[in-house]
Structure 1
């Protein structure tokens, strides 16, 4: 039984046959395009849509945390009731408009997109 559980675990968690995913701005754009097609129901193309949705939620949560607890509003300022779809649209549009950035780090490109779409008021 012990060996059966180990083998089952290895089979369920193995990456055999899995397509390697890039971790760049181009992959983020593809993920967010799927998310935007699916709307807030990320189950239509689960892998891509959920990757975008989780990335966007991470950005929103991190920005909210630093704004609330450290009063840091640098780079970009999201509206209080920002919709994740709006953030995904801003990032997707930015990457599509700057194809040379597709191979760069997705976090840096996402931040640049949000700086342009949601600048802080001075």
Structure 2
């Protein structure tokens, strides 16, 4: 990622096709290091390609990647003391109540006051 970031910084700075030395200079200026073989491999992959076309192609590929947010997590059914199954919603509500109680405890002043 740091090689990509250095490449994008060089392009934004006006250098349409940065060299390996350009990328090394940018990386060294912030104290980062990258192997010569990784820089050479990256430059071989983007050689002669326009950055705007590469970004547009990447966006098209990312558009097909599922981003989640539509699925619902289902908890395994648990049982109460009588052995009957407790609905997942009730178990989730109990867990939520426990988390709320823990948060209230963490709001204490931990035995000392800032202004004592």
**Of the two, which has the highest radius of gyration?**
2
**TM-score of the aligned structures, taking structure 2 as reference length:** 0.22
Select the structure with the greater relative contact order (CA < 8 A; seq sep ≥ 6): 1
**TM-score of the aligned structures, taking structure 1 as reference length:** 0.21
Higher helix share: 1
